[in-house]
Amino acid sequence: MRDYEFYYTQDGSIGLYSYTDSDVYHSKYGALTEAWEKFVIPSGLEKLINTKKHINILDVCYGVGYNTKALMSFVINKNEKFLKRKNFLKKFFEKFKNKKDSNDKYNESIDNNNTLGYNEELSIYTDSNNVDNLSDYNIDCLEINNELVKLSPFLKTVFTPQEIYTKIVPKIFDCFETYWIIRKKLSKFTLKIALRNRKKITELLDLKYNNDYDLLNSNYKINKYVNYILVNKLLDKYKEDYIDEELKNKFADSLNRRFFDKACIKYAKFYQNFKYNLMYKVNLFAFLHNIYYRYFSIRYKKIDFEATEKLFNIKFMINDARKSILDINKQYDLIFLDAFTYSKAPELWSVEFIGELYKRLSPRGLLLTYSNSALVRNTLLENNFYLGKIIDEKTGKSIGTIAAKDKAMIKEPLSTYEIGLCNTKSGIPYHDPGLCRDRDYILSLREYDFKTSDLMTATQYMRTRINKKEDKHE
């Protein structure tokens, strides 16, 4: 594994910091919040659920899976009433009632000369007892880091201390600011004494629980079933090699142990051991496994786990995303482009790679990314995308970019000013001929284009536009 460190972000989800790249993989303000607000909510998924039977999603740079987990949680929450477990008597009476109702409708349609009632409005949710009527979700996840994918189901999502304590003693946080000031000064003093010691991630990112947490949406949570479904899908992929010695050591590491869900780890170990080691030996284990598998959590017993799992077909492609994308021959309704920052992973923001994503986006599909940069937006424009902004409802500011082949799919198009920025030196894109060049080559190629370009800089452009009336409202 690369030189990563886990830390809790300010919404209680776990982020990753890379010392190798000196950068975070997730926003310190909330890894899970970012997944919901920049990808799932603006994706128009709710509309897709009601209009399409088969929905294809591509998650570029799966990482530890927050975007996929948030999407799955959204789907489960929306379909909860159709997934509820029913007891035998309730099923029997509902079946009897539905049969009686259908006979009444049939007789009524004959009386009205409307054979079988074909003029009635149809819906994919015609029978709430039949899960097969629900939409199914084919999610392809691209990721180069094998270990992050394996670890993804086991990361906790917890309440931050602020969320807990503000319900008990709201004024206790008046002293938090003083605490963090003192701690920050002490850490600086310690670093002067022992320069070889690596900064703790909390000091490095200046993490603290601030009073803005109450503005976060409490619905941004991972459904309990999601991680168990991911475990099953990963067991199907890795089989008996899933929970290997390396992963066991990671779970046992005292520094990382607090970030992992023990119940989920036990479930994965039990299921792997049963399926690949014990199943052919002792029939008794089949019965025990069935109980554990079906009823592993009393708190979530109201939803049928097996029915929920059937909604998702998840495929993990562990390779350089540039190679994986060339092996894909399908079109997607949604593409989540959540690659590492473009200065650190330019190969996933190049004109050529984005062009491959364009080919695989359906005519009315959407591509979403967290980036607002002129470089990324210009790369999308060069591939004939129509662009819009992802707007933060709380602040009204742009927090990402949305792209489509169909202009009608864009609700908040870029302003004239923002499009102008794309045509400055800042918007000069990366190129990766053949989708096989290394990072240094791609960076040097853009640096040469930047130095030889006669375009104005972003600063020059802003100065020329600063007094124009149309820009003051953009």
Read off the pLDDT of residues 307-340 as tens digits, 9 standing for 90 and up: 899 999 999 999 999 999 999 999 999 999 999 8
Instruction: Write out pLDDT tens, residues 402-417.
Output: 999 999 999 999 999 9
For the record, the structure tokens of 472 come out as 């003051």
Does 37 share its domain with 147?
A: yes
3-state secondary structure string, the chain? CCCEEEEECCCCCEEEEECCCCEECCCCCCHHHHHHHHHHHHHCHHHHHHHCCEEEEEEECCCCCHHHHHHHHHHHHHCHHHHECCCHHHHHHHHHHHHHHHHHHHHHHHHCCCHHHCCCCCCCCCCCCCHHHCCEEEEEEEECCHHHHHHHHHECCCCCHHHHHCCCCHHHHHHHHHHHHHHHHHHHHHHHHCCCCCCCHHHHCCCCCCCCHHHCCCCCCCCHHHHHHHHHHHHHHHHHHCCCHHHHHHHHCCCCHHHECHHHHHHHHHHHHHHHHHCCCCCHHHHHHHHHHHCCCHHHCCECHHHHHCCEEEEEEECCHHHHHHCCCCCEEEEEECCCCCCCCHHHCCHHHHHHHHHCEEEEEEEEECCCCHHHHHHHHHCCCEEEEEECCCCCCEEEEEEECCHHHCCCECCHHHHHHHCCHHHCCCCCHHHCCCHHHHHHHHHHHHHHCCCCCHHHHHHHHCCCHHHHCC
Does 35 share its domain with 155?
A: yes
Does 231 share its domain with 380?
A: no
Please indicate whether residue 341 or residue 473 has the higher confidence score (pLDDT): 341
Looking at residue 293, its pLDDT comes to 52
Q: What is the mean pLDDT of residues 91-100?
A: 54
Q: Is residue 319 part of a domain?
A: no
Query: In this predicted structure, which of 49-63, 72-86, 184-198, 457-471 has the lowest mean pLDDT?
Result: 184-198
Burial group, residue 26, by CB count within 10 angstroms (0-12, 13-18, 19+): buried
Q: Is residue 324 part of a domain?
A: no
Q: Is residue 364 part of a domain?
A: yes
Does 138 share its domain with 287?
A: yes
The parent domain of residue 458 ranges over 339-472
Instruction: Write out pLDDT tens, residues 128-186.
Output: 455 667 889 999 999 999 999 999 999 987 654 444 444 444 444 455 556 556 666 66
Does 368 share its domain with 386?
A: yes
Looking at residue 12, its pLDDT comes to 73
Does 259 share its domain with 393?
A: no
Please indicate whether residue 216 or residue 348 has the higher confidence score (pLDDT): 348
Q: Is residue 51 part of a domain?
A: yes
Q: What is the mean pLDDT of residues 18-35?
A: 76
pLDDT-derived band of residue 41, with 50, 70 and 90 as boundaries? very high
Instruction: Write out pLDDT tens, residues 246-299.
Output: 999 999 988 888 889 888 898 898 888 877 665 544 454 454 455 455 445 444
Q: Is residue 107 part of a domain?
A: yes
Query: In this predicted structure, which of 5-19, 31-45, 136-150 has the lowest mean pLDDT?
Result: 5-19
Reported pTM: 0.79
Instruction: Work out the mean pLDDT of the chain and round it to a whole number.
Output: 79
Does 138 share its domain with 262?
A: yes
Does 141 share its domain with 227?
A: yes
Q: Is the pLDDT of residue 210 over 70?
A: no
Does 177 share its domain with 307?
A: no
Looking at residue 114, its pLDDT comes to 43
Does 349 share its domain with 375?
A: yes
424-438: b (≥16 Cβ within 10 Å) or e: bbbbbbbbbeebebe
Q: Is residue 330 part of a domain?
A: no
Q: Is residue 235 part of a domain?
A: yes
Total domains in the fold of the chain: 4
Instruction: Write out pLDDT tens, residues 439-448.
Output: 999 999 999 9
Does 261 share its domain with 274?
A: yes
Does 191 share its domain with 292?
A: no
Q: Is residue 361 part of a domain?
A: yes
Q: Is the pLDDT of residue 52 over 80?
A: yes
Give strand pairing partners of 366: 334, 404
Angle between helices 66-78 and 224-238 (to 10 degrees): 120
